[in-house]
Structure 1
């Protein structure tokens, strides 16, 4: 009887080992894809750090360059995150929170960079006010801009009135960027929590999954 129990235990352990081996073989990353992705990661890192070095060596316009550097760093950040996820898909959800948080930060940097290129917030608002006047002949956007207004796409054009360029429009865009940062970071943290409880189903729309 004792011998039979030990035999069943050995068979159970062998089956578990075989299942783990099958899962590893099924989800293991091929060598060729690892080498190709690693080569592209090295290229992206080299070009990104070269561009960063060029900006830092000629750091003469900090109001613009400090935000531009934040945008440039998104390339190596995404490259390393994607490569690590390829090597170990089991931790991809955990490191996606870092990617999503930096994506929201890069969006903020890009918005601030555009404002800095226009000369700051006051000059940006003045520029939008000039574009918002009906006497403006050169449209800011060809298809969605007419006489200083921004038309909403379908079906929001039946709900919201066209936005006139000016200070209010600038505040709406600024609020939208900050809102995107908060929601993106919150959903990234929520995804990690759901993954820890085993109820995060990426790409699946189920009532019991997040």
Structure 2
């Protein structure tokens, strides 16, 4: 048992092999090249700023994940800090994606009109037969006992909008809280203990 524990801790303390770092580095560089190419393509043809400004925020999520993954692979001791920064940007990217969808539909008013039209017509092929019926979104168990079904329209749009903003606030707040917990050594990533955050 003692030899197994020593082997386990030596594997955890060692850095990843050179071949893993090389493959990770090449993958990161390819990802950076392709995402920057796509970004510059959008910026060089910047003819629809209302949509493209949010699309740029979504595209930048790819290099953010690539760099965070590679830095965490090379230096596992700072992986928690990198993950926290990535989580903050992920919240912003979620906001950008929501705003991009609204911009593609022509703004908030046209999005609400679109949802009302979708709610008034019944589709032959709904996304989920159990959850969608004649313009009404039904909740899964156990939420169906707490919340009434949502009708597509302005109310549904406002709920989604509030949900995205709540996600941004909660994700960023918990990421900042994790920074403080990590600084005091009580973050304990992936562990469920009363003494850990």
Q: TM-score, normalised by structure 2?
A: 0.90
- Deviating above 4 A after TM superposition, structure 1's stretches of 4 or more consecutive aligned residues are 22-25
The equivalent position to 2:184 in structure 1, one of 197, 201, 207, is 197
Alignment deviations for residues 71-128 of structure 1 (CA, whole Å, 9 cap, x no partner) = 0110001101111111111111222221011000000000001001100000001111
* Higher-Rg member (1/2): 1
The equivalent position to 1:141 in structure 2, one of 127, 131, 136, is 127
The equivalent position to 2:158 in structure 1, one of 160, 168, 171, is 171
Q: Distance in 2 between matches of 1:25 and 1:47?
A: 33
Count, aligned residues: 188
Q: Distance in 2 between matches of 1:59 and 1:140?
A: 35
CA deviation after TM superposition for structure 1 residue 25, in Å: 8.1
Root-mean-square deviation over aligned CA pairs:
1.8
Q: Distance in 2 between matches of 1:203 and 1:166?
A: 40
Work out whether residues 137 and 150 of structure 2, in 8 Å CA contact, stay in contact via their aligned partners in 1. yes
Aligned partner of 2:30 in structure 1 is: 43
The equivalent position to 1:61 in structure 2, one of 42, 48, 64, is 48
Work out whether residues 32 and 63 of structure 2, in 8 Å CA contact, stay in contact via their aligned partners in 1. yes
Q: TM-score, normalised by structure 1?
A: 0.84
Q: Which runs of 5+ in 1 are unaligned?
A: 1-21
Q: Distance in 2 between matches of 1:93 and 1:116?
A: 34
Q: Distance in 1 between matches of 2:78 and 2:45?
A: 39
